[in-house]
Structure 1
Amino acid sequence: MLDLVLADGELVVPETGVARGSVGIKDGRIAVVAAPGETLTARETIDCSGRWVFPGLIDPHTHVGFGDKERDFGTEARSAALGGVTALFTFHRSADLRESSGPWIAEGERRSCIDFGLHFGLTSALHIDTLQETAKRFGVSSFKVYLMYKGAAGAAKGFTEIDDGLLFRTMLEARRVPGGVVGVHCENVEVIPVFRGPLKAAGRNDLAAWDEQSPDFLEAENVSRVIYFAAKAECPVNIVHLSSREGLEIVRRHRAVHRNPVHVETCAHYLTMTRDDPAGILAKVNPPLRRQTDCDALWEGVADGSIETVGSDHVPRKVATKGTDLWSASAGFPGLATLLPLMIEDGHYGRGLPLTRIAAVTSLNVARLYGLPSKGSIAAGKDADLVVVDPHTKRAVDHATLASFSDYTPMQGRMLRGWPVHTLVRGRPVVADGRLTEAALTAPAGRYLRRAV
């Protein structure tokens, strides 16, 4: 007998399409995908008629630990589950990854109700020297270099070794890791002061000034150099949180010339918010929010496959870290719980984006890029990571209902459709009827996603 059946839903299978059917779950895995009319017997059945069933989202870009340190794994996993995210990747940085990674993973396994994996943030020669050791020991095959922390900008945050040499060395080492990929934050921080000084002197304190101090071509220039270096190093590269039309155009040009894999990720806020957003300083983020023309271009990239993955870049700090001054406000904001509703409201309803494309960029493609063969789709043998979505009811975003440590959202009051009703992680209900389950609250059982390295 099956443990659970999701009966008569519209199954969103990214590889094949949307079709009515039922999903039978046994021992945490999908045991059978049944056509309409087939009877499945289980201990529990959830009627999914009139609802969409998505593969659980895998958020490729989060910053767990930036809010309430270790306890973030509890609060932010619960927020993720409310948004239909059944697994996430978070960036881990420390002086010595060999010492910090084990305890950090243990914290996640102790507190998280969803599965999670790590990207290693590489900021020093020691990280490169020990990359093969740490990758193998902790099953990590994805690495990030922060070009915005070069020079004086990096020194202000304690990073003194980030330069193009570190980037290139990372690529040479990462290509030796099975499935290895280097993600890069692309902003030319050396030119930003040319714009920042006059803007501050003019008394600018509006969100658009953040875009003007780091304009789109500073991202595009870095994108071009990163892809060129990656081609010479013969290393797969991922342009993370791409924000601009010009940056995407650079990617397309290089892809026509170079053969090494060039992956592109964007985030929901670059698709759905602009530099004129009414949230103002609350929406300060790096790279900056751009213009509507950039949003339009990025949506085109999602639709045509130029952009492969979409994440949240979730940062769960308190609203107090924003303050009232643009230049000293913290960068980033929470977004885990709103990722799927934003993609459905603005992408599917607003632009006609197929549901299968949303499932691809938020689940299937993430699983493929980061080496998770048991996740990302709805098929027999896969982990039963599933999300039942209410396709029609509009609900206002309210930070008080999102369970994050963060006490605000720049999306406050925005009306969205596509909210999850049920969320299952390996067949285990963590959200039922739109609410966190007792198990999610008191007996988290998230697993660390060790990749084959």
Structure 2
Amino acid sequence: MTLDTLITNARLLLPHKGLTDGVLGIKDGRIAVIAEHKADLAAREVIDCQGLWLLPGIIDPHVHFGFGSPETDFETESRNAALGGTTSALSFHRSKDIRDSFESARNLAERQSCIDIGFHFGITSHLHVQTLEEISTRFGVSSYKLYMMYKGAAGLAQGFTDIDDGLLYSALRETARIPGAVLGVHCENVEVIPVLRDPLRAAGRDDLRAWNEQSPDFLEAENVHRVCYFASKTHTPVNIVHLSSREALDEVRRHRQRRNGPPIYVESCPHYLFLNDESPAGPYAKVNPPIRGQGDVEAMWEGVLDGSITTIGSDHVPRKRATKDKNIWAASNGFPGTGMILPIMLHEGYHRRHIPLSRIIELCSANSAHIYNMPNKGSIEIGKDADLLVVDPDLEKVVDPATLESHADYSPYEGMAIKGWPVRTLVRGRTIMQDGRITDEARAHPGGHFLRRL
């Protein structure tokens, strides 16, 4: 057999083995051979890793492509993702009636994206719940998100009229009926926020810590309890997305002690592991839930180590700097970050905190592949998609938004020196990034696939 590509002189991160010296062969976009260095193999292309790491591609389970430039986001943001080693991403799709809107979104993603793209459905109405099985089966989507922060007046401001505890319970019950499905929930008690926010604004506060104080940890934890409790009554797998605080994580730990309870997954984000509410990024780091204090940052790393946190997602939103150049109350929510997952986890986790590399890849790739029904992704094994990263763990670069390809023209990490970057990104065996730039071939022919997961 002549391979399409042979990757030599690599240190491969193999499941249950750690970094292992060897070679890897790719045929028809999949991993066909894993062998020792001395193996005699023929290939049309040879990539010499020169002793660098070969890791599975990162799976980002939480991006908002289309919230910056709807016409071009899948192009720019997939490039941004690939620069940092993200080879698959799950974006959110919501509309009044998903039956009428989804195909155009999927087609746009397939035309523009250079990485593989899947979707979650945003549940904002009873119509979405009533049609959930239909749209899931028809479009191959097995995961959803409900936004507790859009209850009441906050929801009306966004045009949502149905979001309440009844919708949460109905969505949980319907999700439980769909094999392999999971419901993600944004947990913040938005009804209490104005009670805390208004005095802060009246006092003239305009700092990142004020944003934390207007939606403190216990408002997140209260909603986490509600979601987990309802999930136990409906026997529904749930995912607490972008969890940010010790108190909320402790609620998950408490509910996981229930005998025969449903799975409760926890996603956190690089910014909750790396930034705190004293960050000089100010409004550029405004997000929901808020960036917390350093104590909560430490709690997130404890969750990484003890397994309480299941996945890492970026919560990437690619809006322009102009939407942030305002006071903390008027600045837009969210910021770009999908291409920063691996660099931050290597810099802060592997180098500074000595988190095992295998644990980082579990969080950033393998676990998402399992939870979100992507059996061909997430690890270096024969037969799986050749989504691979050549990584230089000692390469240090300063974050510069001008080089990141995103529609967003800023980063909350800009100016920071980060150690540990991919120098080559392959999606299904095809190089789409090399030495910090998207290849000309990937620009001309993006080639990303839609990830059907149900």
TM-score, with normalisation over the residues of structure 1?
0.99
CA distance in structure 2 between the partners assigned to 1:8 and 1:358 by the alignment: 23
- Tell me, in whole angstroms, the C-alpha distance in 2 between the residues paired with 1:244 and 1:14: 30
2:123 aligned residue: 122
Any idea what SS the aligned residue of 2:374 has? coil
1:81 corresponds to which letter in structure 2?
Answer: A
Amino acid across the alignment from 1:422: R
Equivalent residue for 1:59?
Answer: 60
2:263 to 261, 264, 268: 261
Report the AA paired with residue 401 of structure 1.
T
- Counterpart amino acid of 1:224? H
Displacement, 1:42?
1.0
2:199 corresponds to 1:198: yes
Distance 1:367 1:14 in 2: 14
In 2, are the aligned partners of 1:10 and 1:49 still within 8 Å (CA)? no
Unaligned runs of 5+ in 2: none
Counterpart Cα distance in 2 of 1:445 and 1:21: 28
Which of 443, 446, 449 is the equivalent residue of 2:448? 446
Partner of 1:325: 327
**SS of equivalent residue, structure 2 residue 411:** coil
CA distance in 1: counterparts of 2:219 and 2:13, whole angstroms: 38
Counterpart pick for 2:381 among 379, 382, 390 = 379
1:39 CA displacement: 2.9
| Residue 417 (structure 1) shift | 1.4
Moved more, 3-12 or 103-112: 3-12
Specify the alignment match of 1:408 in structure 2: 410
Structure-2 residue corresponding to 1:92: 93
Which amino acid in the other structure matches residue 165 of structure 1?
G
Task: Give me the whole-angstrom Cα distance separating, in 2, the residues matched to 1:189 and 1:300.
Answer: 27
**Aligned AA (2:321):** V
**1:124-139 equivalence runs, <5 A:** 124-139=125-140
In the alignment, the residues of structure 2 paired with residue 15 and residue 404 of structure 1 have an alpha-carbon distance, to the nearest angstrom, of: 35
Residue of structure 2 equivalent to 1:425: 427
- Which residues of 2 match residues 152-171 of structure 1 at below 5 A? 152-171=153-172
Please give the per-residue CA displacement for 1:222-272, whole angstroms capped at 9, x wherever unaligned: 001100000000000000000001111111111012521000000000000
Q: Deviation at 1:16?
A: 3.1
Structure 1 runs not aligned, ≥5 long: none
Q: Which residues in structure 2 correspond to 1:21-420 (within 5 Å)?
A: 21-258=22-259, 259-420=261-422
Aligned-pair identity in percent equals 58
Q: For 2:361 and 2:40, how far apart are their aligned partners in 1?
A: 26
Residue deviations 1:65-96 (CA, integer Å, cap 9, x gap): 01100310000001111011001000111000
Structure 1 runs (4+) deviating above 3 angstroms are: none
Cα shift at 1:4: 0.7
Contact 1:138 1:450 in 2 (8 A): yes
How far, CA to CA, are the matches of 1:297 and 1:36 in structure 2? 41
Equivalent residue letter for 1:48: C
1:139 CA displacement:
0.4
CA distance in 2, matches of 1:125, 1:265: 26
Cα shift readout 1:122-150 (whole Å, capped 9, x = no counterpart): 00011011111100000011011000000
In 2, are the aligned partners of 1:66 and 1:316 still within 8 Å (CA)?
A: yes
Alpha-carbon separation, structure 2, partners of 1:14 and 1:70: 39
**Distance of 2:356 and 2:274 partners within structure 1:** 17
**Residue 14 (structure 1) shift:** 4.2
What does the per-residue CA deviation read over 1:393-442, in whole Å, with 9 as the maximum and x for residues that have no partner? 21101001110010000101111111111100000110123221112111
- Letter in structure 2 aligned against 1:237: V
Name the CA distance, whole Å, in 1 between partners of 2:218 and 2:40.
Answer: 57
Once the two structures are TM-superposed, the CA of residue 325 in structure 1 deviates from its matched residue by 1.1
- 2: CA distance, partners of 1:254 / 1:429: 44
Compute the RMSD of aligned alpha carbons: 0.9
Query: Using the alignment, how far apart are the partners of 2:52 and 2:419 within structure 1?
Result: 12
Quote the residue 1:13 is aligned against.
14
With over 3 angstroms needed to count, the CA separation of the structure-2 counterparts of 1:167 and 1:15, relative to structure 1, is farther
2:340 alignment partner, SS class: helix
Spell out, residue by residue over 1:182-227, the C-alpha distance to the aligned partner (whole angstroms, 9 max, x if none).
0000000010011001000000000100000000000001001100
In the TM superposition, residue 11 of structure 1 has moved relative to its aligned partner by: 1.1
AA at the equivalent of 1:396: V
CA distance in structure 2 between the partners assigned to 1:61 and 1:50 by the alignment: 32
Alpha-carbon separation, structure 1, partners of 2:240 and 2:39: 44
State the TM-score, normalized to the length of structure 2.
0.98
Task: Tell whether the 8 Å contact from 1:301 to 1:307 is kept in structure 2 after alignment.
Answer: yes
Native 8 Å contact 1:389 1:422 kept in 2:
yes
Counterparts of 1:212 and 1:411, CA distance in 2:
22
Q: Which amino acid aligns with 1:267?
A: C
For 1:433 and 1:5, the matched residues in 2 are separated by 19
Deviation at 1:36, TM superposition (A): 2.9
Q: How far apart are 1:102 and its partner, in Å?
A: 0.5
- The farther-off stretch of 425-434 and 58-67 is 425-434
Q: For 1:417, what is the secondary structure of its paired residue?
A: strand
- Give 1:9 shift: 1.2
For the residues of structure 2 that align with 1:13 and 1:434, how far apart are their CA atoms? Answer: 25
Q: Which amino acid in the other structure matches residue 391 of structure 2?
A: V
Contact kept, 8 Å, 1:270 with 1:289, in 2: the verdict is yes
Separation in structure 2 between the aligned mates of residue 334 and residue 36 of structure 1, nearest angstrom = 39
Q: Quick one: distance in 2 between partners of 1:380 and 1:257? A: 37
CA deviations over 1:349-392 (Å, ceiling 9, x no partner): 01001111111111100000000001100010000000111111
